[in-house]
Structure 1
């Protein structure tokens, strides 16, 4: 039953709406003319009208196919025959092929179609001497409009095609934005929760050791775990609501806490005031610093870790160095490091990883002129 329903024949494509039916009104005039004819002329005329209607329908269904030109040629031939051997007033039927000539997007095909259309209209005009008769003022406006209509139709169709392509491009952009947003959320969850959960794990291990030797400190650390877990919940909420903005100064405080909990000595060198770095860059660098320190805690087995912030005339460098085994045998294919590279690329930054008595991770962020007004102090 569904198969029969789906195979229903369409008179005209639905996307063209009522427009194709409106044009059919003009077929009434040649039909009225043929009714007053007799014999072979009448019969053959109705055969041509029937074929003309077939070409009219098929042209709508073969817009982007080779058959389009063949059907258009047949339609032009019918119009030409009517004009030459029936009545010169059939010239007005040229509005039909004129409309379809305008559907050619290719310049060469459009010019050929326009040339053929001019032939089928001008030859009957001169043959019947319409330009030198009393009907001149009647025919010339119609001829001018017919010759201009393909250009108007073509311009309109090009605009419609561009709008269609724009809609398709917008749909693709929306899909890419959704995909990028999902990737961003996954990356943010990894960077944010990975750091916090690592801190909770380390403090939990510390509490386990302290319960027997220092119960009071164990209670303090347990409260810190609760505080950290609440902080993690808050981070998730802020992340989901897309309202979270982290400064480098805030992140450095968190860095000190996690390194202290892991038993790694923290050192800071270079620039201490990062307040004039643009908010977007601060947020991205903060997340990258968090991932870098998480990797130090998880993989380096280091005893010391230093963060150096240096400013040059071209960029600001953030150098994270540890004295452990680092990422020597891990490469830079982890999700965390990939996320860092992707984040830094958003602000035209670079990530460089080297191995020298540990691991050195360097982030280079270009200076945007006008964003850094004052020189900040350095301390070692």
Structure 2
């Protein structure tokens, strides 16, 4: 239990509650004034109780801050002092009931809140009944609206605190989402840089090997290949600049042209079948599909030992399917989902798409993508 706050730096009230605890203290000047009109003994007892009231008031704040188990105990002290004042001094002292009502509204647990409400009800009922039996009942009825407001105030405070707590949680959640978006963006940029450069460098490697083989037997063709290597390397530099500066989206048709160049350089015949138009597909979706196609065809060149690669773009219902099949050695099952497949699945998950890979007289990779076509107005706005 924290009786005097931090030993090193004394604080009258916890910093987190701001100036409100000090504002409430102003109202204690009223009972201080009325106690001056009491007999000496009764006034002295009153001053002592008022001092204990201030101590319990302070400890309630620290108990709330630290979620201590003494919270209900200090509240009981608070309410008992108000009961003595309102029964044996003056019914007017019931106005001090707003002090415990404020704390009850701050109670974090439902059980504590309900106990506090019950105690507050007793605090309002007992003095009224006591004075109605010993004095005029009119005074008791005069305080009725005041008592109703006092009993309802914890609900208002609790509702306000819940709203503030929800706003804090929402702010924290938004901050976390922002961090996750930034992290995902960094991962995406890194992955796109890797995939783009990997694809282009594979093409440069293949052309370099081809030029090396042709340099003695067909020097003119070798010279043409080296010229293409230069062009491809410049393209790679241009791609890196685009990715870093503007992250330009690559359309499916643009990627298909690059795939055709890559497969032709590798000596693999490319067969394409288009059953649907892809121009109206959102650019984000096209970019993700393009990056996946780049990964798939790079793997065909590197690992399949295939002579043919077949690509089909088709549609069914509101879905687009993309199938890439080769007639190569097939998928090595022992490797399971490699980094490439895992990366494609992560990308496709962003647009609620799926990926399947299987052996089918070679390797068959299929993407199933839900498509929401844009309005012309939305497309123009972009």
Give the TM-score, by structure 2 length: 0.87
Residue from 298, 302, 305 that aligns with 1:301: 305
2:49 maps to 1:45: no
Give the direction of change, closer, same or farther, for the CA distance of 1:124–1:285 in structure 2 (3 Å limit).
same
Contact 1:191 1:336 in 2 (8 A): no
Residue from 235, 246, 252 that aligns with 1:248: 252
Query: Greater shift after overlay, 85-94 or 309-318?
Result: 309-318
Report the equivalent of 1:132.
Answer: 137
Which string of whole-angstrom CA distances, capped at 9 and with x for unpartnered residues, describes residues 90-117 of structure 1? 1111110111121235445433322211
Which string of whole-angstrom CA distances, capped at 9 and with x for unpartnered residues, describes residues 254-305 of structure 1? 0011111122222223437432334333222111111000111111122222
Once residues 208 and 147 of structure 2 are traced to their aligned partners in structure 1, the CA distance between those partners, rounded to angstroms, is 90
2:167 maps to 1:163: yes
SS at match of 2:171: helix
Alignment: residue pair count: 367
Give the TM-score, by structure 1 length: 0.87
Query: Which consecutive unaligned segments of at least 5 residues does structure 2 have?
Result: 1-5, 376-382
2:119 maps to 1:86: no
Report the equivalent of 2:380.
Answer: none
Residue from 208, 224, 232 that aligns with 1:228: 232
Query: Which consecutive unaligned segments of at least 5 residues does structure 1 have?
Result: 372-380
Q: Higher relative contact order by CA 8 Å / sep ≥ 6: 1 or 2?
A: 1
Contact 2:131 2:137 in 1 (8 A): no
SS at match of 2:369: strand
Once residues 6 and 217 of structure 1 are traced to their aligned partners in structure 2, the CA distance between those partners, rounded to angstroms, is 86
Once residues 205 and 331 of structure 1 are traced to their aligned partners in structure 2, the CA distance between those partners, rounded to angstroms, is 28
Task: Kindly state the Cα deviation for residue 346 of structure 1 after the two structures are TM-superposed.
Answer: 2.6
Task: Kindly state the Cα deviation for residue 331 of structure 1 after the two structures are TM-superposed.
Answer: 3.2
Report the equivalent of 2:13.
Answer: 12
Report the equivalent of 2:107.
Answer: 104
Report the equivalent of 1:122.
Answer: 125
SS at match of 2:106: coil
The correspondence of residues 148-187 of structure 1 with structure 2, limited to 5 A, is: 148-187=152-191
Give the direction of change, closer, same or farther, for the CA distance of 1:311–1:117 in structure 2 (3 Å limit).
closer
Report the equivalent of 1:378.
Answer: none
The correspondence of residues 202-351 of structure 1 with structure 2, limited to 5 A, is: 202-271=206-275, 273-313=277-317, 315-329=319-333, 331-351=335-355
